[in-house]
Amino acid sequence: MSEATAQAPSARARSTTTRRPARSWLRPVVLAVLLIVLLVLPLYIEEFWLRTGFAVFGAAVGAIGLNLLVGTSGQLSLAHSFFLAVGAVTYTFVSGESGGLGVADLKGLGWPPLVGMVLGVVVAGVAGLLFSPVAARLRGIYLGVASLGLVFIGLHVLNSWTSVTGGFNGRRVPEFSLFGFHFASRDPQLFVLGIPFREAERLWYLGLVIALAAYLFARNLLRSRPGRALQTLRDSEVAASVMGVNVQAYKARVFMVSSMYAGLSGVLYALSIGSIAPESFGLFVSIQYLAMIVLGGLGSVGGAVLGAAFVTALPLIFQRYADAIPFVTSAGGSGLAAGEAARYLYGAAIVLVIIFLPGGLAGIPQRFRRRRAGPPAEPPSARAPESSPQSVPSDRPVQRSTPR
């Protein structure tokens, strides 16, 4: 073997080690800059964008939870809207007051909103835990159909349990407060750099903190031993069980964690719209969350956030700028409604992503890195052996000493 051939693998190894640090510091810097931008934005943007951002933060929490279930562990669930409803209704009942108008005699405990939020997450997790024996024994389309039954059960309960949910007409959601600090335009009056921080600004920071905590928890979970077990479970249940993973226990636990994420997302969703009604938690909501994780990229926490931003913000933006967008009109017009136009657009986006970007929006940076790096280097074993005097075979037969 020549000296150049012997030094080639070591040179490639040195070049790989020199490239790794650049990738390691680039991601934290980008995330830090993004966080600073999100912290400063309420000082410069108007109320519409603040409320849209809060809706995106709430949807991102639910999308991260569903991605842990579908993208990481490979379990199909269509019941995400049911667990959103559990979180929203629990928060409204625990923190709401008794009373009502007309035939609706509403009940409420009147507890602090923080307690209502925590109980919303816990009750949604308990509901997921109760369903987890079914989830642990089913897979694929069978689990999807079984979870679909929860949506219809939830809609029936929302329409029938009038004293808690308000029935068909829904119920007003109590405002959120934390240790005496109200996230509405009162108590106390707050000014930052001369700019009044009213309800929209305060809810923006509440959603940002919760979404950031949900993102970090999911990232750390995927990097831990349970996260690697879930990824092995997604690839092959047989291989996971051979490696010592308790398949049924892990499937039940990840279903519970995903349900808790959905419960927290349901609380934020209720706060963003100000009221809850059965029509807000139908099957279409579950399909929307599936669209979020498919668009963002299955198994990617950051991709779930991107997909949530795309699917949640698009109808609101279309509704805001309906007069300036072709073929889109406001309510009562002759063209496409904003919600319908948004559905057409992200429906087409799903098809394009599946065909051209199987890794979702989160896979775009990796695709650019591959193009910049060029084609992969050919492994040494695939190369033709170099000709050298020692490797040239001889035409003469091998001389052996045989007795005569």
List the structure tokens of 276. Answer: 């809850």
The kind and range of the H/E element at 178 are strand 177-178
Q: What is the pLDDT of residue 15?
A: 46
Burial class (CB in 10 A: 0-12, 13-18, 19+), 23: exposed
pLDDT band at 88 (very low <50, low <70, confident <90, very high): very high
pLDDT of residue 395 exceeding 50, the answer is no
pLDDT of residue 156 exceeding 70, the answer is yes
First to last CA, the chain: 41
Averaged pLDDT, 322-334:
69
Averaged pLDDT, 299-311:
92
CB 71 within 8 A of CB 293: yes
Q: What is the pLDDT of residue 123?
A: 96
Strands (DSSP E) contained in 79-176 are 171-172
Question: How much is the pTM?
Answer: 0.83
Q: What is the pLDDT of residue 16?
A: 44
Q: What is the pLDDT of residue 357?
A: 80
Averaged pLDDT, 332-361:
78
pLDDT band at 314 (very low <50, low <70, confident <90, very high): confident
pLDDT of residue 384 exceeding 60, the answer is no
CB 311 within 8 A of CB 291: yes
CB 320 within 8 A of CB 329: no
Q: Please name the residues in contact with 349: beta carbons below 8 A apart, sequence gap of 6 or more.
A: 295, 310
CB 194 within 8 A of CB 289: no
Q: Is 396 helix (H, G, I), strand (E, B) or coil?
A: coil
Higher pLDDT, 207 or 20: 207
pLDDT band at 375 (very low <50, low <70, confident <90, very high): low
> How much is the mean pLDDT over the chain?
82
Q: How many H helices and E strands in the chain?
A: 14, 6
Alpha-carbon distance of 262 to 88, in angstroms, equals 10
pLDDT of residue 394 exceeding 50, the answer is no
Higher pLDDT, 340 or 228: 228
pLDDT band at 167 (very low <50, low <70, confident <90, very high): confident
Per mean pLDDT, which range of 19-33, 152-166, 236-250, 306-320 is the poorest? Answer: 19-33
Higher pLDDT, 141 or 101: 141
pLDDT band at 90 (very low <50, low <70, confident <90, very high): very high
Share of the chain above pLDDT 70, in %: 81
pLDDT of residue 236 exceeding 80, the answer is yes
Alpha-carbon distance of 154 to 276, in angstroms, equals 13
Residue that has been written with the tokens 């010592």 in this structure? 244
Burial class (CB in 10 A: 0-12, 13-18, 19+), 219: middle
pLDDT digits (tens, 9 = 90+) for 283-293: 999 999 999 99
Position 122, amino acid = V
pLDDT band at 345 (very low <50, low <70, confident <90, very high): confident
Alpha-carbon distance of 386 to 404, in angstroms, equals 41
Alpha-carbon distance of 128 to 293, in angstroms, equals 20
Averaged pLDDT, 78-82:
94
pLDDT band at 330 (very low <50, low <70, confident <90, very high): low
Higher pLDDT, 330 or 45: 45
Q: What is the pLDDT of residue 387?
A: 47
What letter would DSSP give residue 70? I
Q: What is the pLDDT of residue 377?
A: 55
Which CA distances in Å does 256 have to 55, 121, 129, 199? 23, 10, 5, 32
pLDDT digits (tens, 9 = 90+) for 25-50: 777 888 899 999 999 998 888 899 99
Q: Prior bond to 112 cis, omega within 30?
A: no
Share of the chain above pLDDT 90, in %: 39
pLDDT of residue 398 exceeding 70, the answer is no
Averaged pLDDT, 165-190:
84
